[in-house]
Amino acid sequence: MAEQRPKIELPDNVQVDVTMKFGEPFKQGENNGRPWYLWTVKNDAGDDASLFADEPLQMLLEAADIERGDEISIKPVKTTKAEPRTWHVWCNNQAVSLTGDATPQQAPQQEPQQEPQQEPPKAAPPKRDSLTYADRVNLMGSCIQDAALIWAAVKTDGDNSRAIAAIANTLFIDCRKDRTLTAPDYSEPDTSGATSDPGIQEGDPGYGEPPNPGTEDDDDLPF
């Protein structure tokens, strides 16, 4: 007569660990209309043993998709005598549920962290004027000289100082807005032959040089 294998006991609120020898029950049947399932396992001592599962436990074992050699932990939980036992099953340290979700036994699955939404790049602040104080003074001086040339060429009666100042301000603002515009360099005399005074001919003193605004009118410039 073959030696009978020991039966795995499953006391309430105690975890029992076994190793499955097969991926399906060895035998199944019914007792008073209640189905039972017999599994062949190895106990914690490494000996062959029999594990009987009722219908609720069997459903969890089937959900675990057991294979030969899987480590199974079973814990029946019962809080009061009136309540039926509920089964908790882990397969290779993964909790088994009838919904198919599996989470680590000691390391609950962490929710994926959402990457922080990146703010749209802020528009670069407008670049401050790169002109130095000396640059502005030189630019205004050049604009005044050009304005005087323009006013002298027009030869219109009126308040020379105010007219030249208005023209100079317009030129200054345009040069500040459009950085591609540059004021002419008056450090060297203009020898192109152009002059604002038609009475000065080539070879005469002052030919090719801008007239002095202070000599064309008694009104002094207010700047």
Dihedral angle sign, alpha carbons of residues 196, 199, 202, 206: negative
Domain-located, residue 189: yes
Domain-located, residue 167: yes
| Residues 49, 113: Cα–Cα separation, whole Å | 45
Q: Across 92-96, 102-106, 109-113, 219-223, which has the greatest mean pLDDT?
A: 92-96
Among the candidates 79, 96, 113, a domain finishes at: 96
Assign residue 85 the CATH number of its domain. 2.40.50
Tens digits of per-residue pLDDT, 152-167?
Answer: 777 666 667 777 788 7
Q: Are strands 71-77 and 27-31 parallel, antiparallel or unpaired?
A: unpaired
- Average pLDDT, rounded, for the chain: 75
Please count the structural domains in the chain. 2
Tens digits of per-residue pLDDT, 164-210?
Answer: 788 778 877 777 666 555 555 555 555 554 444 555 556 666 555 55
Domain-located, residue 110: no
| Residues 86, 79: Cα–Cα separation, whole Å | 10
Residue 39 above 80 pLDDT? yes
Query: Quick one: tokens of 79?
Result: 């809080």
Q: What DSSP state is assigned to residue 3?
A: P
Domain-located, residue 102: no
Range of the domain at 53: 16-96
Q: Return the amino acid letter for 190.
A: D
Domain-located, residue 178: yes
Same domain, residue pair 79 and 143? no
